[in-house]
Chain A
């Protein structure tokens, strides 16, 4: 059933359902994507977007339903069948081999690799192919040295080189600058316009849907809410359809605060990464109480090292950190005295012990002192439970009991638990990185409101994020980090998205 074609084709999904045990991930979903169109798939986390495309690609076996290509029903039993039919998918996370060059990655992706590879011949074939597509990548660079935009182009090229004519993109722009995202989506849009490609893109960015897509299908709790032409829609309408009737917590108003004392100060701070290269290059920053300073940047420009350095998880290699004007090294005593709170990214990995209970995780900051600890020796379990029950109630953490393991909570509730621990008592400084990554609307609004509330109560907040919308919504000041240096600073009022994007890309 080899259907190698050189033009795009349409794909329809009819009555598709998928159950995982009792849980209905997809409930009788219909979707039609005409040939040569750019189709967006919108929905919250857990709405069934990934399940739907994985059923289409044959990773999951659907319970009910059928897939039609140009009107003819096709049986896709595995990814191999999907590839043969010209369906290809670019995953949310890069699947490039870091130590290999672009050329090697592209050749190795082919299903029929000769036993002995003639690199000159392969290079020649690839150069001819690259002449037919708009994407340009350096063939001899190792993929670990590529920028995020180049990596994403290579991922797309991998699919096009396999003669894929129906391309599924799973949140393709989450690690790109706005400029990189626009460039790549624009090129794909052109290919669709020329009827070379049909595109299905999973996303949560309304801006990209409105700018590039022809039509959008919205999923909610496994059901198709509807397919709409993008021309007839606004971002607000899309948002409403995605979340349904669920109430959303309002972001508290920004209290006008001025002249707070300097809480956190970085002087020529330098931090190395795991490979011993300088990841943070002599940065300076003063953070006052009652302000949120946002650090914008494409991931991998030193943000992880900066947050780990400030949290005391990574040694600093030069310069100094001051909290309340005194040198700060992130020891337990300093954290307690200066009331420094931290909500790092992926909190289950970076700020919790996954196999311990919610109550124990909630007590990490004070478990070794009274009232958790009696006479500095014996832990008082009843106090753990009482304290946890109180926090669970105040912060709306959904857990069956305080004794539940941390790893059994959902992403939003893990985030709420860590916030409850870190902001449960007033904090002087809060350091947070991508605090709402992967959360649904209600949880995002909730956590944003809590960060704003902390700010309004005088906490100095350092917010490191890859999400510009989040930064512009919350921050009083935005600083752009690029290649380990602070390259741009702007107040909230004067922030210009296009300038920030350019600085993020290092221009």
Chain B
């Protein structure tokens, strides 16, 4: 074992590692949002859910010493936030976008309020799995040290994708999301289905939050999320409401985000802040290229309010 010089190979390796590290919260939040939006409702409150998840995971991990318990509590807290959104939006004439924004502010505020005592102390972090055992090269070892939540998200992307095609629940979600009339004629209760998917989506977003505070960056402070919850909502549109698309979109976004630090590590420091903007710029460019003022987005659930 030693630091073999692998030259510029360091850049793609760092981008790879960064893609996985940065993409994990995007992946979990966007999968949750994908689940919710497929049922015909949009939850813009996931930024708040993310913060609640991050705070509660950190607090529980610090108090009990078990980061896993923290992840579990973060999922529970996220589920409660999703459930709240779900039942409020089930009331007649309630607008899901407005409720989402209210819950985003509420969640963030609540997280700051309860999170005050946890700023400073160090909580136990989540472990990662070493896939680089076969290599002697330090950079490869560290690049292949992959966090457990990413693997969970990876599996979930495939599970949800399969579920939409081949399970009763997945099919019901698609029916409700695509045509409320058809759903009622078939005897499904759209509000019930949507409340369940919003709660499940909230749980995934809560877990995404626990990643931020328990793995990377691995601390709790009030500036922890820089809009990941909002960006994840956009990623779902970019991914055309396809769970595997969410995976690719998150990885692309994560990879673009890791480019700046990776280049800096090999001494290329020009335009550092510009490179930090890369993921956002990339999203903007892709959205413009793939959108049309005259054409509806293909694959959009028919009942989604942004689409009607």
Interface residues of A (CB under 8 A from B): 79-80, 91, 93, 95-100, 104-105, 107-109, 111, 113-117, 119, 272, 274-276
Which stretch of B17-25, B142-150, B174-182, B216-224 is in the interface?
Answer: B174-182
Determine if B166 is an interface residue (Cβ-Cβ < 8 Å): yes
Cα(A113)–Cα(B186), bound, Å: 12
Given contacts A99-B174, A108-B186, contact A274 B166 (CB under 8 A): no
Cα(A274)–Cα(B293), bound, Å: 9
| Cβ–Cβ < 8 Å partners of B186 in chain A | 95, 108-109
Task: Please determine whether B296 and A100 come into contact, CB atoms closer than 8 angstroms.
Answer: no
Task: Please determine whether B175 and A100 come into contact, CB atoms closer than 8 angstroms.
Answer: yes
B185 and chain A: residue at smallest CB distance: A95
| Cβ–Cβ < 8 Å partners of A96 in chain B | 179, 182
Determine if B294 is an interface residue (Cβ-Cβ < 8 Å): yes
Task: Please determine whether B174 and A80 come into contact, CB atoms closer than 8 angstroms.
Answer: no
Determine if B302 is an interface residue (Cβ-Cβ < 8 Å): yes
Task: Please determine whether B181 and A95 come into contact, CB atoms closer than 8 angstroms.
Answer: yes
- What 8 A-B pairs come out closest when comparing CB atoms? A276-B295, A95-B185, A113-B168, A95-B182, A97-B182, A276-B294, A97-B178, A97-B179
Cα(A276)–Cα(B298), bound, Å: 11
A107 and chain B: residue at smallest CB distance: B171
| Cβ–Cβ < 8 Å partners of A276 in chain B | 292, 294-295
Could you write out 23 A-B pairs with CB less than 8 Å apart?
Answer: A79-B187, A80-B187, A93-B181, A95-B186, A96-B182, A97-B174, A97-B178, A97-B179, A98-B179, A99-B174, A100-B178, A104-B171, A107-B171, A108-B172, A108-B175, A109-B186, A116-B168, A117-B167, A117-B168, A117-B171, A119-B166, A275-B298, A276-B292
Q: How many residues of B contact A (CB 8 A)?
A: 24
Task: Please determine whether B294 and A272 come into contact, CB atoms closer than 8 angstroms.
Answer: yes
A-B contact count (CB 8 A): 62
* A354 nearest CB across to chain B (Å): 15
Name the contact of B295 in the complex, choosing from A80, A98, A100, A275 (C-beta under 8 A): A275
| Cβ–Cβ < 8 Å partners of B175 in chain A | 97, 100, 108
Cα(A113)–Cα(B167), bound, Å: 9
Task: Please determine whether B295 and A115 come into contact, CB atoms closer than 8 angstroms.
Answer: no
| Cβ–Cβ < 8 Å partners of A117 in chain B | 166-168, 171
A79 and chain B: residue at smallest CB distance: B187
| Cβ–Cβ < 8 Å partners of A93 in chain B | 181
| Cβ–Cβ < 8 Å partners of B292 in chain A | 276
Cα(A425)–Cα(B213), bound, Å: 71
Cα(A276)–Cα(B187), bound, Å: 34
| Cβ–Cβ < 8 Å partners of A109 in chain B | 186
* A68 nearest CB across to chain B (Å): 25
Cα(A476)–Cα(B19), bound, Å: 68
| Cβ–Cβ < 8 Å partners of B181 in chain A | 93, 95
Task: Please determine whether A274 and B168 come into contact, CB atoms closer than 8 angstroms.
Answer: no
Task: Please determine whether A108 and B294 come into contact, CB atoms closer than 8 angstroms.
Answer: no
| Cβ–Cβ < 8 Å partners of B174 in chain A | 97, 99-100
* A141 nearest CB across to chain B (Å): 16
* B252 nearest CB across to chain A (Å): 25
Given contacts A109-B186, A113-B171, A117-B166, contact A98 B296 (CB under 8 A): no
| Cβ–Cβ < 8 Å partners of A100 in chain B | 174-175, 178
Given contacts A91-B185, A99-B302, A274-B295, contact A108 B171 (CB under 8 A): yes
Cα(A109)–Cα(B181), bound, Å: 13
* B8 nearest CB across to chain A (Å): 44
A116 and chain B: residue at smallest CB distance: B167
A95 and chain B: residue at smallest CB distance: B185
Cα(A100)–Cα(B171), bound, Å: 9
A277 and chain B: residue at smallest CB distance: B295
CB proximity to A under 8 Å, residues B51-86: none
Task: Please determine whether B187 and A111 come into contact, CB atoms closer than 8 angstroms.
Answer: yes
